[in-house]
């Protein structure tokens, strides 16, 4: 009962509840998701009304932009977003600049997106005399991936590869990351001093730094376009001993596919457990759960419907030991997942992956394409106004092509 009350409280406040409490089969989660959607719709209506009162011209542009998104007319949406961004810049509307910057990120205009988000940051936070502006420096460059608690793990994993390129501009480079990422980043970026973003470490690093960069500087000066993003890919390196341990434990002759099906984020639209069970039943492979939270009920449902047992390794807790989770993912032949930290981690490790994307225009994944320049081995399968049965059918076909390419004959 207490868990249900927490979920409903989080939904009413427009938030997600603690990931470790997630259970997709839980009644409280389903009710909470419905409450969240109602509240989210009301919040969007209030936001539109404020825009009309503040600037009818911009509000009309935004309406056209939203209609283009609803039609999935991505070229028109991109044009509208660029025009709105220019109006926002002229009005020095930092929030709208940030909003259009994120929209253009999804629409594939990475250069314009990076510049907009950086200028929005400067308007909101003011000028920093130590800000890195892409120049070469004979000193220490600090890259802070945890400037605020709102910055999620997925964003750090996605943009982490940029630190290797940024380090080439300085004599010394220090990166502050979430503590769970320190072993993985230390192993992967040898030329960078990786530290946990604790209060003491942050104070010392900021004092010693000659220049400081966050996500916005990395996007603007390193990830300047799709080609630059793809060119700077540096795969994360898991613990080889742990990878060997997982391989020895899991491999019994069939391909290994990791799956993750649920999210504590109420805004996400995801396939049902029965949709996942149909995918499991159709494939002659062994499945490994990469799902966080309390999944006992979900696994029982999957087994009952698909007649397949999903390996659930209790030695892995991604919420406390991300390095071990990375090794588990790396030991697999492929991953099929919704958008979550595991999706970013699989992509950053270079593991062949299929990421299932809903139709909500709020994710960091690009639209109108089945690939992302951030992860060369990731294939995106978007819902595109289809039923989940059709989506999972495409996932099954795509997975077959991955196996044919990587294990011919």
Question: What confidence score (pLDDT) does residue 263 get?
Answer: 81
Q: Residue 248 CB: number of other CB atoms within 10 A?
A: 9
CA 404 to chain centre: 27
Distance CA 54, CA 204 (A): 43
Class at the top of the CATH hierarchy for domain 240-406: alpha beta
Angle between helices 94-106 and 110-125 (to 10 degrees): 160
Place of tokens 């077959």: 400
Residue 73, phi-psi category: left (phi > 0), alpha (psi -120 to 50), beta (remainder): beta
Non-local (6+) Cβ contacts of 384 within 8 A are 72, 359
Question: What confidence score (pLDDT) does residue 235 get?
Answer: 96
Q: What is the pTM of this model?
A: 0.89
Question: What confidence score (pLDDT) does residue 24 get?
Answer: 63
Question: What confidence score (pLDDT) does residue 316 get?
Answer: 95
Structural domain boundaries in the chain:
2-125, 137-231, 240-406
Q: How would you list the strands of the sheet with 334-338, edge to edge?
A: 286-289, 256-260, 334-338, 353-357, 378-382
Class at the top of the CATH hierarchy for domain 137-231: alpha beta
Q: What is the radius of gyration, based on Cα positions, of the chain?
A: 22
Question: What confidence score (pLDDT) does residue 12 get?
Answer: 52
Residue 120, phi-psi category: left (phi > 0), alpha (psi -120 to 50), beta (remainder): alpha
| Dihedral angle computed from the Cα positions of residues 218, 230, 288 and 269, in that order, rounded to the nearest 10 degrees | 70
> Is residue 316 a contact partner of residue 284, using CB atoms and an 8 Å limit?
no
Profile the chain (409 residues) by mean pLDDT over runs of 10 residues.
56 53 62 68 72 82 94 96 96 95 96 96 92 97 86 88 96 96 96 95 96 96 96 96 96 92 83 96 95 91 95 93 97 96 97 96 89 97 96 96 76
Q: Considering only CA atoms, which of 135, 126, 185 is closest in space to residue 326?
A: 185
């Amino acid at each position: 009962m207490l868990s249900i009350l927490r979920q409903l409280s989080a939904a009413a406040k427009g938030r997600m509840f603690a990931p470790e409490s997630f259970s997709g089969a839980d009644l409280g989660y389903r009710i909470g998701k419905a409450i969240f959607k109602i509240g989210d719709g009301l919040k969007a209506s209030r936001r539109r009304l404020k825009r009309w009162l503040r600037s009818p011209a911009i509000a009309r542009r935004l309406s056209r932009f939203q209609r283009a998104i609803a039609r999935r007319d991505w070229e028109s949406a991109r044009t509208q977003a660029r025009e709105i961004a220019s109006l926002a810049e002229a009005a020095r509307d930092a929030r709208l600049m940030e909003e259009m910057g994120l929209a253009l990120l999804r629409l594939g205009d990475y250069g314009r997106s990076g510049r907009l988000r950086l200028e929005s940051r400067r308007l909101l936070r003011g000028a920093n005399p130590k800000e890195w502006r892409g120049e070469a420096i004979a000193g220490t460059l600090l890259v802070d991936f945890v400037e605020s608690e709102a910055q999620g793990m997925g964003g750090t994993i996605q943009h982490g590869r940029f630190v290797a390129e940024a380090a080439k501009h300085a004599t010394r480079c220090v990166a502050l990351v979430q503590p769970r990422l320190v072993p993985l980043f230390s192993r992967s970026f040898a030329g960078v001093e990786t530290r946990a973003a604790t209060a003491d470490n942050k104070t010392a690093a900021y004092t010693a730094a000659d220049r400081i960069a966050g996500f916005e500087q990395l996007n603007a000066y390193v990830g300047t376009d799709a080609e630059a993003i793809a060119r700077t890919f540096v795969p994360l390196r898991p613990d080889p001993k742990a990878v060997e341990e997982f391989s020895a434990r899991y491999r019994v002759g069939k391909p290994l596919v990791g799956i993750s099906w649920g999210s504590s984020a109420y805004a996400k639209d995801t396939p049902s457990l029965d949709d996942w069970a149909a995918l499991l039943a159709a494939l002659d492979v062994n499945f490994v759960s990469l799902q966080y939270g309390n999944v006992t009920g979900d696994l029982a449902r999957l087994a009952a419907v698909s007649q397949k047992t999903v390996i659930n390794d209790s030695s892995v807790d991604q919420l406390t030991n991300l390095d071990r989770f990375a090794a588990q993912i790396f030991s697999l032949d492929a991953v099929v997942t919704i958008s979550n930290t595991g999706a970013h981690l699989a992509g950053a490790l270079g593991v062949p992956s299929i990421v299932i994307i809903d139709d909500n225009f709020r994710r960091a994944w690009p639209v109108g394409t089945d690939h992302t320049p951030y992860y060369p081995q990731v294939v995106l399968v978007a819902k595109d106004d289809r039923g989940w049965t059709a989506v999972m059918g495409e996932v099954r076909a795509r997975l077959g092509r991955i196996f044919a390419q990587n294990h011919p004959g």
